[in-house]
Structure 1
């Protein structure tokens, strides 16, 4: 007799925060689940040219989870796609996510198993699922195209329960108090509607697998972590030293209540799983990847020139910005574009945005890019795009690790780097990156630089678009010093939180020892674990292994 499996994901649910709040008496349902079952820490890696690196890219991890395969096997790494034939960037959800053609989702099990899938990020509708699939009702951007099977089900869900208020709508800024106020209410509404949908879907059938994901921790972590946690440098300013309610804890508490309601509907003999593929902590990666790296490569390619945020490394950095002037982060960053005229530079902070449309220092104005609907026109790394054909190397837009593309002859439309130069440039840039320092602390900024290709002629289509991947140390800064190219910053901080390479898995049910610990694992191990509990066959091509094969007694 098969036992049903109910798997509940928390997208970017952070185990460090959860453990802390459980110890303080919060999150009683998650705490009870952990006490009644087994627990494993999750961390993830990727291999570039055989070199192992830490990996916390949410889109890639959800593809790993769904396929049971590593990123290098499926050839999917990131949501952004770069086109060397025209130097363009694309992020259309219909085409940029993993397509699941070579490797199908693990739950596409055919007629023998009844499966319900609700709002799993980064997935697609699969024809091999006997049951229902609802994707893109809620979740963080980029998630999955909004679709369902049966095709009319998503519209019925939206009509009956309402649309999700935060779907693709977490683009606010931390100094916009109206946005933060709205977001708190929207997160509460999102969790409430999601919980009701989950409970009703669970009751509709005797599912062999019921798989759903709460997307709200991802949105909340990105946007309001700095209102919640003292390890964020803006926390004392925004939280008034902890005297205002914690909006991030509030979101987790609502999710905990939702999990409790779902479990009330669960069959007594069910396996109950709760997991998160990665966590969320202070945002140490967005500014280095989107600002510092792009500007560093500008200065590398154009010696003696600066574009964004020039500073003097001979003096201590000024205080961190806590009261930005502009009503957008792109406005704050474009204001940092170097103006050689001291009079214009003096009045720039008070210049209306409509007068800042002009390109400057060879960079494209973000206001013009957004008018032209250029993908990620708001991101500083994109502003350098008009100069990419002239540069030996440039930074691709990204949210997490830094991405460097070499402008290679025969590969890029206007490539200027020969095959013989490729190796030397990669090595030179690697050393430049390792010399970067946080100007406030003197600590190194770069943890690791990984090569993605064995040589300039290595054209495996499953490689990432980038030639070099930059992994940053996990500490925030707004200003960086390079002994080679001077100071960049200070700049205004961007999103509050970013992905941290820490997740968790907990499971209770028949044969699982309460309070037990499982070996450390990764995202690829969850699919075989779920299939093991379902009594379903585990594909030989999986890179992951079941976590519960030994402790479970059938």
Structure 2
């Protein structure tokens, strides 16, 4: 008998290889049973994995090269400023002729659909404002279940401290239990009349970014005092996620079920290279001198990887090396004058006091220099991104369009000549370019993307010299080889295959017997490929 409705559980930032090892040991019985009895697919997110916008892609049904964004960071070519923007797009589920309830999916704009539920309750990178529908539902949920139990640890930084790691692990495990209680109340008691329910679990994302070194024996920080508690915390959080899946399945025995993750997770390769090393390299190539101070680290591993004190944060350390504002020189005077003028025009740079501000990232502190440079590094979270200062596109463009490819290729050559200051290996694994016309490139898109080789913590360049090394920020990142989908629905034979991450949303439409709107990405998993 075909189920009457569909329960979809989205696992945010979830690494399936860790889960599979735990399933083999009998630690995740509910996911293990679902995998044994349902259809199993490996999910390939491709290069879109590095956008950090997987949940916007779920909400909109669009891949980045089909009308989506390649980054949440928007660059204004007239003011040379950047900010992180929430979603602007309506969910594709507005076209769904079904009663839908959602709980905490990031980048899902409830106000633009008939769906009911709650957003931005405890999401990692929510991408939307907190909202409840019917009106006041979010406050009702808060009254019943209290504030999100792990709010201080959504973006936790814990590897230098064993005590903070223990505290964060306990809080995130409790947050999964709290999420389970809230989801069951929402779907079973408060809004039980649904055809499609979408529940997103974000604790896996928050945990893996700070605890990865605890489950990866090859990670350089695995042997630190925080390593063992980080590993225990990760496994406990996965066990709680498994219980949540079982609780929701028992709550709705008449529903078919899909559990999926758009991509996997692994070691963080990008934070230090993209956020700190690359912008300094581009500065030195442009001006022939350093901007960042030379680091001195009292503690480090035997191989030279810097360590922080237990009470020290990465941001504190980087603030001493990359000043938030230029401190001297003609460029400083120009930057200060520009800020005074912008303030009189109502464009004061008060971003540091707004949630979309990026001044905490060293890359953004090079902004006053960008208009004087031929190419500069964008603030980026998951890969390296470089934008050329192109005449006819940027206000003070210095690169004529006729020289665009030559200048871009010169940047590529400089990157390929750069080695890791610790391992001596090339820092670049792959560089690729957008397909769009450079003059028409969107404000969310750089001119080249960089995938890093291993985890560069310092750069050595033949003429720019040594930059860093700097300590790790997050130990986990968006580097897993695959996501996954487990589907329990009649007519889908148990089998293993590999499908695109953009096939998830059309599959949801297909299972509900709904036409998938044209002009969107992907193809239902139940359909054969042409």
CA RMSD in angstroms, aligned pairs only: 2.9
Separation of aligned partners in 1, 2:79 and 2:26: 55
Q: Note if 1:262 corresponds to 2:248.
A: yes
**Native 8 Å contact 1:401 1:472 kept in 2:** yes
1:461-496 deviation per Cα after TM superposition (whole angstroms, max 9, x unaligned): 4x74311111223x2232222234222221111111
Q: How does 1:151-170 map to 2 (within 5 A)?
A: 151-167=135-151, 169-170=154-155
Q: How does 1:83-232 map to 2 (within 5 A)?
A: 83-91=76-84, 96-100=85-89, 104-109=90-95, 112-129=97-114, 131-167=115-151, 169-203=154-188, 204-232=191-219
Cα gap change, 1:394/1:160 in structure 2, threshold over 3 Å: closer, same or farther? Answer: same
**Native 8 Å contact 1:481 1:487 kept in 2:** yes
Residue 308 of structure 1 deviates from its aligned partner by: 4.4
- In the alignment, which residue of structure 2 is the partner of 1:71? 64
Separation of aligned partners in 2, 1:199 and 1:532: 25
Q: How does 1:2-401 map to 2 (within 5 A)?
A: 3-45=4-46, 54-57=47-50, 59-91=52-84, 96-100=85-89, 104-109=90-95, 112-129=97-114, 131-167=115-151, 169-203=154-188, 204-239=191-226, 242=228, 246-268=232-254, 270-305=255-290, 307-309=292-294, 319-324=304-309, 327-336=312-321, 359=327, 372-373=352-353, 375-401=357-383
1:390-410 deviation per Cα after TM superposition (whole angstroms, max 9, x unaligned): 111111111111111112223
Residue 246 of structure 1 deviates from its aligned partner by: 1.3
Separation of aligned partners in 2, 1:127 and 1:397: 30
Of residues 440, 445, 467, the one that matches 2:447 is 467
**TM norm structure 1:** 0.84
Separation of aligned partners in 1, 2:271 and 2:413: 21
Structure 2 gaps of 5+ residues are: 337-348
Cα gap change, 1:144/1:58 in structure 2, threshold over 3 Å: closer, same or farther? Answer: farther
Residue 159 of structure 1 deviates from its aligned partner by: 1.0
Structure 2 SS opposite 1:30: helix
**Native 8 Å contact 1:295 1:308 kept in 2:** no
Cα gap change, 1:385/1:245 in structure 2, threshold over 3 Å: closer, same or farther? Answer: closer
Structure 2 SS opposite 1:273: strand
- In the alignment, which residue of structure 2 is the partner of 1:533? 511
Cα gap change, 1:310/1:413 in structure 2, threshold over 3 Å: closer, same or farther? Answer: farther
1:376-423 deviation per Cα after TM superposition (whole angstroms, max 9, x unaligned): 222111121121121111111111111111122232232222222222
Separation of aligned partners in 1, 2:303 and 2:11: 39
Structure 1 gaps of 5+ residues are: 46-53, 339-355
Q: Note if 1:506 corresponds to 2:486.
A: yes
**TM norm structure 2:** 0.87
Aligned residues: 503
Residue 28 of structure 1 deviates from its aligned partner by: 1.4
Residue 440 of structure 1 deviates from its aligned partner by: 3.0
- In the alignment, which residue of structure 2 is the partner of 1:49? none
**Native 8 Å contact 2:385 2:448 kept in 1:** yes
1:45-64 deviation per Cα after TM superposition (whole angstroms, max 9, x unaligned): 3xxxxxxxx23136432222
Cα gap change, 1:407/1:335 in structure 2, threshold over 3 Å: closer, same or farther? Answer: same
Separation of aligned partners in 1, 2:404 and 2:124: 37
Structure 2 SS opposite 1:417: coil
**Native 8 Å contact 1:337 1:360 kept in 2:** no
1:63-110 deviation per Cα after TM superposition (whole angstroms, max 9, x unaligned): 22222222122231221111111111112xxxx23322xxx4232245
Cα gap change, 1:228/1:35 in structure 2, threshold over 3 Å: closer, same or farther? Answer: same
